[in-house]
Amino acid sequence: MTVSIQGTPIGAGHPVYVIAEIGLNHNGDVELAKKLIDVAAEAGAQAVKFQKRTPEISTPEHMKQVPRETPWGTMSYLDYRYRVEFDREQYVEIGDYATLRGLDWFASPWDEPSVDFLEDLGVGAHKVASASVTDHGLLARLAQTGKTIILSTGMSTLQEIDAAVEVLGTEKLVMLHATSTYPLPPEEANLRTILTLQQRYRNVPIGYSGHERGLQISLAAVALGAVAVERHITLDRTMWGSDHAASLEPQGFEHLVRDIRIIGEAMGDGVKRVFPGELAPLAKLRRVPAPTA
Ligand SMILES: C=C(OP(=O)(O)O)C(=O)O
C-alpha cells in the first residue's frame, strides 16, 4: 500500500521517505531553522518537520509554572514554550524556504488550533507525535483535513494505537514505530515491532522515528522494511535545548541518508535470479554446469 505527500509516494518499492525533524531545535530562531533546512536538503532528505503548539492548551497544567533555565533567563515552562514558537509570518518564511530547497514541510500539531494554523499555511501532511496518540479530539480534527497523516507510536500500547487508527482511518495513514526514550538505548528500540505493526496494519506503510545516538538502529529499521525514517537534526549536539543531544549533526545526517539509499537499493525485490554481474564469475568458477532438463 502506498500513500503520498505532495506527490511523493511512501511505501514498499519506493525510496525510503526521510524526514528531518527540526522540531524545536531552531530554538525560536528563523535563521537557525533555515540552516537546518539546508542540512536536510543537502543530505537528500524528502521532508523537514516542525512542532506546532498553542502553549496555553498543549502544556500540561502541572508543568506550566515549573521554572526553566533558558538562554533568555529563568522563566516558567509555559513562557519558555511561547518563546520557542514561530508565528504565522515566520512559518511562511521557513515553509517557503523549505519549498525552495525542494523539500516537503509539515509539523506535528500538539492541539486542535495548531491544526487550523497549519491548514491555513497549506501544509502537505500532518504528523501525530507519540504524546498525542490518545488525543482523539486532535486525531478527529486531523482526519477531517483529508491530508496524509503520519502517526508515531512511542509510549503507546497496541490497544491505544488501534483506537487511534479507528479515528484516523487507514486510507491516508503512515505509521512510525517509535520508543520515546531520549536518547534511546538499543535494548528499548525493539525493532521487531516494525514487523508486528506490518502484520497488524496490513494496508498501512510502516516506518520508524528514532531517538537513538548514531545511525545503526535507523539503518536496521530500513533493513526490516521501514518505508519512512524520521530523525532529529541539529547543527551542534551540545546546543541548549531538550532534543539537541539525541539529534544527528549535519555529517551524521548526510551519512544516514546516504546509507538508507544504499540499503534501499540493496534490499531488491526478493525474486531469486542470476544477475548479469554474476555471469563472468559463473563462467570462470562453476565446474559442474546445471543438468539440462
Ligand atoms: C515528538 C514527535 O514525534 P515522535 O513521537 O515520533 O518522536 C513529534 O513529531 O513532535
Instruction: List, for residues 147-164, the tens digit of each pLDDT value.
Output: 999 999 999 999 999 999
Q: 2-285 domain in CATH 3.20.20.70?
A: yes
Locate 84 and state its grid cell.
520557542
Specify whether the backbone of 229 is left (phi greater than 0), alpha (psi in -120 to 50) or beta.
Answer: beta
Q: Residue 240 C-alpha to ligand 1 middle, in angstroms? A: 19
Rounded to 5 degrees, what angle do the CA atoms 150, 238, 34 make? 55
- pLDDT one-digit tens code per residue, 89-118: 999 999 999 999 999 999 999 999 999 999
Q: Residue 130 C-alpha to ligand 1 middle, in angstroms? A: 6
Q: Rounded mean pLDDT of 264-293?
A: 94
Q: Residue 53 C-alpha to ligand 1 middle, in angstroms? A: 13
Distances (CA, A) of 263 to 30, 185, 251: 34, 23, 18
How many residues in total does the chain contain?
293
Return the ligand 1 atom nearest residue 154 CA. Answer: 5
Rounded to 5 degrees, φ, ψ at 185 are -80, 145
Distances (CA, A) of 290 to 113, 149, 273, 286: 68, 51, 15, 9
Q: Residue 283 C-alpha to ligand 1 middle, in angstroms? A: 53
Return the ligand 1 atom nearest residue 152 CA. Answer: 6
Q: Residue 251 C-alpha to ligand 1 middle, in angstroms? A: 22
Measured by CA distance, the residue closest to atom 10 of ligand 1 is 129
Q: Rounded mean pLDDT of 17-41?
A: 97
Return the ligand 1 atom nearest residue 230 CA. Answer: 6
Q: Residue 279 C-alpha to ligand 1 middle, in angstroms? A: 48
- Average pLDDT over the chain reads 96
- pLDDT one-digit tens code per residue, 207-250: 999 999 999 999 999 999 999 999 999 999 999 998 998 899 99
Return the ligand 1 atom nearest residue 127 CA. Answer: 9
Q: Is the Cβ atom of 152 under 6 angstroms away from ligand 1?
A: yes
* pLDDT of 293 higher than 80: no
Question: pLDDT class for 120, splitting at 50, 70, 90?
Answer: very high
- pLDDT at site 129: 98
Measured by CA distance, the residue closest to atom 8 of ligand 1 is 129
Q: Rounded mean pLDDT of 26-32?
A: 96
- pLDDT at site 245: 87
Return the ligand 1 atom nearest residue 209 CA. Answer: 6
- pLDDT at site 2: 87
* Assembly ipTM: 0.98
